Amino acid sequence: MNQYQSEYRGLVHYYLLAQNVSWLWRLHWIMQTSLLKTLASKHKSSVRKLFRTYRTLTITPHGPMKCLEVVVERDGKKPLVARFGGIPLRRQKKVILVDRDPRSRPIKRNELMKRLLVGKCELCQSTEDCEVHHIRKLADLKKRAGKEKPAWVQRMAAKRRKTLIVCPTRCATSC
């Protein structure tokens, strides 16, 4: 229930200043029906039975409102409460909007990204425009029988890598 409620709550709070915020009742009905159908399928029950089981009233600043609520009692702790609905769909002219800066996360670079950022060919150390050569599986390197294998194949086999950064002029032309 919490996933549905948090999505619904976020959308309603976003549109509280709108004059037609009450149009979100249709969205409320669709999301509530979706929630009930999902739970009914999971519990092998009917939507009507679950609706009757979980419906309740909650107190809001605009008076009591109907919602769906599940309470799980726990020993020695506060009970867990999951609630869907109970948010008044009324326009609020004096809403305080809090815009938070999204926290930027450092980019986790994998080994290939680090090798690309170096900007050098792994065969001749040239700094020209480099490109990535890729094979599907390491076993493909052994298929080249007969004549001598190119330098990039030998390097991939030695490093046991499926990718290799090479310069397009000198090293990649021997493919």
Please give the mean pLDDT across all residues of the chain.
81
Question: pTM of the predicted model, to two decimals?
Answer: 0.51
Write out pLDDT tens, residues 38-77: 999 999 999 999 999 999 999 988 899 999 999 999 999 9
Q: Token pair of 96, please? A: 């305080």
Q: Where are the domains of the chain?
A: 2-85, 111-174
Binned at pLDDT 50, 70 and 90, residue 3 comes out as: low
Q: Residue 72 is inside which H or E element, if any?
A: strand 63-72
Q: Token pair of 8, please? A: 């619904």
Q: What percent of the chain has pLDDT over 90?
A: 26
Rounded CA-CA distance 92/110 in Å is 48
Other beta carbons within 10 angstroms of residue 91's beta carbon come to 14
Residues 6+ apart with CB under 8 A from 134: 162, 163
CB-based contact 12:89 (threshold 8 Å): yes
